[in-house]
Each structure stands twice: as C-alpha cells, then as structure tokens.
Structure 1
Amino acid sequence: MASSNFIDYVKINARSGAGGPGSVHFRREKYVDKGGPDGGDGGRGGHVILRGNAQLWTLLHLKYTKHVKAEPGVAGEGGRRKGAQGKDIILEVPLGTIAKDAETGHQLTEITEDGQEVIILPGGRGGLGNDHFKTSTKQTPQYAQPGEPGLESWIILELKVLADVGLVGFPNAGKSTLLSVVSAAKPAIADYPFTTLVPNLGVVAYRDYRSFIMADIPGIIEGAAHGKGLGLRFLRHIERNSLLLFLVPANSEDLNAEYETLLNELREYNPSLLDKQRLLAVSKADLLDEDGRKDVTQQLPPNVPHVFISAIAQEGLEQLKDLIWKALNEPLSVY
C-alpha cells in the first residue's frame, strides 16, 4: 500500500433524489367521457447508499468525488401508472468505514461486512396521484401530492483499519521491520522517525495454513492523543484491532516507562482501548546478552505476557506467533 495511495478520510457533499409528483389525470376513453380520476403516484427519489467491499483497502477511489447526487423520481401518469424510481447512488467503501454528519459529528453508520448496504440519505417519497383523493362528495379532485424533496448533507467517511493485531510503539521501535519479516507486506523502513506514514497491513502465515492480519500503525509519540506528531490521524486505526502488540526496543533507556507512556496515550485518546488484550514484545533483542535480558525482564510490567524478538536475526518470531495465536483464540484476561 503506497503512502500516496492510502486515503482514510474523505468529505463528500451527498444529495438524495426528490420524489416524483403525483399525476392529476382523468380517465378519458371512447364512450367514457366522464371517467373518474386515475392519476398515478410519483416514483421514489434515489437513495445515497454505502456498500461494503472487502476488496477495497482505502478510500482513494473517492478522493476526488466531492459531490454525489441521486436521480429524482419520475412523475406519475394517467391510468394509475406509477412513475419510475430515481436511480440510487451506491458508494463502495472498504470494511471498517464510518460515516459521520460533517456538521454535527453524529455517526450515521459503520460498514463492517462485505456486501453490507446502508442508506445514509433516503430519497424523497413520491407524491400520491389524484386517484387517492376521490371521495363520494369530491369525485373529480383537481390536485395531487408533490414529491418529497431529497436530502442534502456533507458526509465524512473515515476508515479504521480492520486487523487482528495492531502494532503499537514509538517511531523506530521496529514495527515495520517486524511486519516485513513475518508477512509479505513491504512497508517503508529507514533509520529515522515517522518512516511509516500510513497504516500497513500484512497477512501473517501460521501453522497448518492458518493466518491472522497484522497492522503496522504509524508511530505514537507522547502527546499523540492531543494531536502531536501523527497523533489523532492514526490512533483511530487501533480501535479496530482485536489485540494490541506493544513493541519496545531493547536499547530503550527505560522500557517500563516507555510502555506506560504508550498506554497513557491510548487511555487519553479512548479509555476503552485499555479493555483490549495486550502483549509486549521487546524488539532488537539481538543487542542483549543473557544478563541483559534478565535486567530488562525486571523492568517489564509483570502482568503482561512478553517475548524477546529480533526481526533481523529471525529470533523469537515463532514464539511471538504462538503467543498471538493463543491470545486471539484463547482470550486472556485484560491487564
């Protein structure tokens, strides 16, 4: 997923179609010069619909779509013929997309299943033809209902990446390197902060042809929950992960303090994130000897399962996969 192609936020002006007007018409045939009213109903206006598509990973295809407008319904006709419905506008979005009203911030819906369809702006109802308004005392109504107007609104579409495991760590913690080693993903890797500018997804192969999805979220810094660094732009992606894997490098000055800082940023952003299962991986473990690992272990939180790994030296990766698979399928208690 190239960084220039990963779009997780778009704002669109959407307008549903107006309903068609009902018809004012009277039956006129040979030998029937005073037939009753037979005006048909107008057709419904087109809806604006979101549809989940599991083949999409980004909102890139909607980046330059600023206005969408569904068609209006067609007017009714004589002979009680109903007007055709306006054509719906269907916006296909990746799974994990949330739609919000741009003015109020109210969440309209979230798309989590392939093929799921949700009407975010319904089309206006068609008006009733004059056939509906005849009575015993008013047998020739000269009026019909107009169609209901369509709705218009600015809609925000936000993508929250769906993954089993989300990697959480400071810049340069080794998240991208780990993802590139355990999956076929090819994230950008370099020795400077914020190499990763977009979330990257990788399918991690496990034993007996099983697999799980891992997401590399751009690095968090202290104050990210208040918008510092890449902050709020990517913290939302963590909300969709079943399991959070914290990565703390072995050469960190204080591993426990770094872990607590990461934890605090998640708490500041959304306290419910702390209800997710957590694992801790000490990356760059090839820098430590046996005594060094013992010292590091004493710094780690005692109630969080941990493992030493080195993506470069291919060390501890199978143990990490085992730990993740067990946590995903045999849920641990929340720490």
Structure 2
Amino acid sequence: MKVAVVCETLPDERRVALVPDAVPRLAKAGLTIGVETGAGDAAGFPDDAYRDAGAEVGTDVLDGAGVLLAVQPPAPEQVDRLAEGALVVSFLPAPRELHLIAAIRDSGRTALAMELIPRISRAQSMDALSSQALVAGYRCAIIAAERLPRFFPMSMTAAGNVPPAKVLVVGAGVAGLQAIATARRLGAVVKAYDVRTAAAEEVRSVGADFIDLDLPALDGAAGYAREMNEERARLQRERLTPHVAAADAVITTAAVPGRPAPVVVTREMVAAMRPGAVVVDLAAEQGGNVEGSQPGREVMIGNARVWGGRNVPSQMPGQASQLYATNLTNLLLLMTEDGSVRPDLDDEIVAGCCVVHAGEVRHEPTRDLLAAKEA
C-alpha cells in the first residue's frame, strides 16, 4: 500500500508529517512511501534525504495512495486524488474543518484526528498533542527570555549582584512543565499554578514552587482540567493577581479540550506588572488565557509586552516533525498487516481518534456540529 506525505499548505506551517528516519520502519512493514517534492524543506529535510531513506519523491505521490499523512488538515482536492476507501491522518479540528469532514464522509474515505488519540498508557507513543506541547512549552520559555530586558539567571559580579528573574507559569500540563523546566535551566526563579490536584507534585518535581490559591481542584477526564464556573474564575483571578504583579515574566498554557481557552489573566492584572515585564500566551489561538492577547502578534498592555502564540511548534520545525513523525509511524504500524493499513475500529486507540469511516461521522461532537451546519 502506498503512503503519501504532502507539502503543508498553511503559510505558517513548517513541519512535515514524516521525516526520513521514519521511512525504513514503514518500508519494513511492507508500505511504499511517497513524499511530495519539497515537503520537508522548511523543516530541514531535503528531498535527497527521503530518497536515501527509500522513499519515492515526486509531484504525483497522492494519486491512488491508500494513506495520506499530514500535519494540518489537507485540502479536499488532495483527498480527491486518493484511492477509494483511503485513510487520511492529520490534526483535524472539527469546528474549522466541517467542509473537509463532510467531503471525506461523502467520499467513503476514513479520517483519523491526531488530537483525539486517547490518553492511555498504550497510546503514549502516538500522543501527538503531548509531543507538540513539549516543543511549544520549551519555545515559550525561550521567547520569554528573549523578550525580557534583563537576565534570567542570578549574576554575582564586582559591580554588584543581579537577582534572578521571577517567572510565573499558569497551567502545568506538558507544555507548562516544559516551560518551567526550561526557565529553571536558564536560571530563573519559577512559580506555577494549575487547577488540577496532581499538578502540585509535578510542578515541584521540575524545581518550581507551586502556588496554592485555596480553591477546589478542577480535575477532568484523561488528566485534563475541566471548565470552571464564573465565580470560581473570579476568585482565581483575584488571588492570582499579586503573583502576576510580582513576576518579571508570565507564561500561560491553560487549556480545556474542546472549549475556548479560559481567561486566566485580565488586562488589569497585566497592567499592574512592572515596566519591561513580558507575558507569553501559548493559548492565544484558542481564544487566549490573557485578555487582549492576539495570536501571532505582540501587543503592549500597560508597560508589559504580551506575545500571543500562533502555531508555536512550527517555530521549531525539525524536532517537532521528528516527534510527530514518530507518533504517526506508531499509529500507522498499529493498523498495518501484510503491507496494508486496515483500521481496526475494535481497537480503542483507533476508535478513539476515528472521526469518519465508511460514510459515517463516528466522533459524536463532530457529528453534532456537522448536523447543525447541514440542518
């Protein structure tokens, strides 16, 4: 069976779905790999590297392919070039991609969404949300250090001592923990807050102090936080305000799956920060943890510089692609038998990430959204 890897079409997407190192693993399973010319260039993987690994490289790799691998959702015209009953695997955010999902449904093809991989131990090697959050968390800490007009580490000199920067991280999932660990390595003093019970121990394990706001925990399914009501949100902002004001840099990474990002830091809280302070909002694309942040832009609120994240993993495309390619490869090999990819919907991993199969939208929230649009 032929597996196709295409050039990403979004202007700010530099990742590629498969890297050369992954090709031999798939070829050993009996799959033929076709890579569109130039697909890996932006991530640092030239066409010759794919050829050397055993892949076919050209402009017509989509034609008749049984599997399409991508980072961002492909265009409907790309899907149309695949074989009947073909499989599409990519990130597939339903609210933005209902037209594509309907097209895949109507064509009888199958679509798996990498953001829906279940959070279970057997699926850890396929968990693309976690792998890309790792990259984003690291990058956020570097961005904060670049933009803060002072040292991160403490410096002791003949001219006097320079105290370390104070960094506050809000949200201690994979991205938040990586941001904490990176800021610590750069020498900052780090505090962190999260609404989940397990977060306190995780925060301390990477060397930061956990902030206890004396509020009930909000543990949700699969290790995520659940949505809070407005009264709890008000109390949280009120009690978090002095910690924001005391920080030189604030990094926010809080998210609730399937919903807009919660507003954790208001304009007033940012305006109370000292001159030169920096705020990095990783959740800006999902509505923002910081009131007034804008994805892909820097804005000034009071005396603080607010940086809104936009496709942050793509800013480190090489390693982000390597991690994502490993996730994809492990998922593909789970479904491969005798040189063919056959999704087994009795497998909880495949069933959990399957959006469309054989003319049916199987993912209930997506099915509801599509039904409402088509009503």
For the pair shown, the structure with the greater C-alpha radius of gyration is 1
Tell which has more relative contact order, 1 or 2 (C-alpha 8 A, sep 6+). 2
TM-score range, shorter chain: under 0.3
Please report the TM-score for the alignment, with normalisation by the length of structure 2: 0.23
Please report the TM-score for the alignment, with normalisation by the length of structure 1: 0.25
Structure (1 or 2) with the greater strand fraction: 1
